[in-house]
Structure 1
């Protein structure tokens, strides 16, 4: 099979029939063998009923139904597990991603051997204040921290080798950083392609402005995990030893100073009346706690077990 098209969705009943017909038209005109995988992320409208109807008319339609809304990352994770095509395309269900971009994305991955091709919505039809400007600032921060020269980390339209999606773990809200997760896993042949962006035709966006704050926090998490995820003691233990050493030297200096004053019969305040004594003691305690945190993190890392992150209620044609 050449293509797996993975589409996470939440309450997109109006756009689904039009999106499906559009994709099928592109697939047939290019003679692709394909599967369309819809992941219904807890929709409360008639999205699942529409997907069931589509699945009865075509064996190319496969679907996963979540018992509740778990988020886009979990939906993509489930879709990637089901995908079987040589090239995996992800796109949103709101008709803002253009299916006519799929042949070129497939060509870049399959024929030019890119691991990932990430879409770049250079010209956007979103609100400038609430989406465009925050998105530009977010992408700037993401480029600086990740080292990936991508203009649009948030673009849902991406193409992957099947091998890539089978070897990365998309969790939490990390769907924005799949290229970075892939890079950390050793898939470094990544490029960007400018894609068409459509104005939203039905409904409203499911993402609020808080997604940018969450995105920045997730970016810090990925940076930390890529640097210290395998050896957290290197960070916490190193900082702990440094702070304990600084506190110990400070306390030692205070003690020597006190002995000097006593030996020379120079009046001096009690050690417990010296605020620097308590500062030194606090620094030593913090250093000890940091060291213990690193030790505990190492233990957790070595004893962790995989656990179920979402509940699948139904699947179709799988």
Structure 2
């Protein structure tokens, strides 16, 4: 199979038929073998009914329905697990991503041998204050922190080699940072393609300003995980040793001062250095223990259920 199109969605019933027709037209005109995987992330409108009717008339359409809303990352994870195409295309279901971009993305993966190609909505049709300016700040921070030189990390339109999506773990709300996850997994040939962005035709956006706050918090998380996720002792152990050493030096100084330099002076417990010494040694020990616990947790790590599938179609 040439292409798997993975589409997470939440309450996008109005756009689904038009999106399907558009994708099918592009695929058939380019003679691609393909599948379209819709992941219904707990929709409360008639989205699943529409997906069912599309799957009945076209075996290329497949569907996954979550028991409730688990988030976009979990929807992508479920779609990636089922995808069988050599190239996986992800796109949003709101018709703001243009299916006409699929052949170009496919060629960049298959001909130019990119591991991952991210879309860049250079010209956007979103609110300047609500989305454009926060998005620019977010992308700047992501570039500086991750080292991945992309202009639009959060574009839903992306293309991947099959090996990439089978070797990265998309969890939490890390869908924004799939290029960073891919880089950390060793897939460094990451490209970018300017894609056409379209104004939303139906409904309202499912994301507000809070997504940028969450995005920056997730950015800190992924920076930490990429630096120390596989070796937490290198961070916590180092901090623990430094703090314990500072506390020990204060304690050593207090002991020498009391025994030899000023034996009739104030009690050690009356001096502020004593509490600095005690606090830093306790914190240093705790950091050191945290490093050990982190190493043990890594070794005992096991996969946990992230979402519950209510129904599947055509798999």
Shared fold per TM-score greater than 0.5: yes
Superposition misfits of 4+ residues, deviation over 3 angstroms: 260-263
1:284 counterpart = 2:275: no
Q: For residue 304 of structure 1, what is the aligned residue in structure 2?
A: 301
**1:159-170 residue pairs with structure 2 within 5 A?**
159-170=159-170
Q: Secondary structure at the match of 1:15?
A: helix
Q: For residue 187 of structure 1, what is the aligned residue in structure 2?
A: 187
Q: For residue 59 of structure 1, what is the aligned residue in structure 2?
A: 59
Q: For residue 196 of structure 1, what is the aligned residue in structure 2?
A: 196
- TM-aligned CA deviation for residue 260 of structure 1: 3.2
How far apart are the structure 1 equivalents of 2:76 and 2:139?
21
- TM-aligned CA deviation for residue 303 of structure 1: 1.1
How far apart are the structure 2 equivalents of 1:271 and 1:161?
65
**1:227-306 residue pairs with structure 2 within 5 A?**
227-263=227-263, 268-306=265-303
**1:1-318 residue pairs with structure 2 within 5 A?**
1-263=1-263, 268-318=265-315
Number of residue pairs aligned between Structure 1 and Structure 2: 315
CA deviation digits over 1:176-223, x for unaligned, max 9? Answer: 111111111111111111000000111111111111111111111111
How far apart are the structure 2 equivalents of 1:132 and 1:259?
66
CA deviation digits over 1:87-132, x for unaligned, max 9? Answer: 1000000000000000100011011111001000011011111111
How far apart are the structure 1 equivalents of 2:91 and 2:21?
15
- TM-aligned CA deviation for residue 262 of structure 1: 3.7
- TM-aligned CA deviation for residue 15 of structure 1: 0.7
Q: Secondary structure at the match of 1:7?
A: strand
How far apart are the structure 2 equivalents of 1:163 and 1:77?
14
Computed over aligned residues only, the root mean square deviation of the Cα atoms, in angstroms, reads 0.9
CA deviation digits over 1:249-308, x for unaligned, max 9? Answer: 011112212223445x5xx22211111210111011000000000011111111121111
Q: Which runs of 5+ in 1 are unaligned?
A: none
How far apart are the structure 1 equivalents of 2:78 and 2:96?
22
Q: Secondary structure at the match of 1:198?
A: coil
- TM-aligned CA deviation for residue 145 of structure 1: 0.5
Q: Secondary structure at the match of 1:169?
A: coil
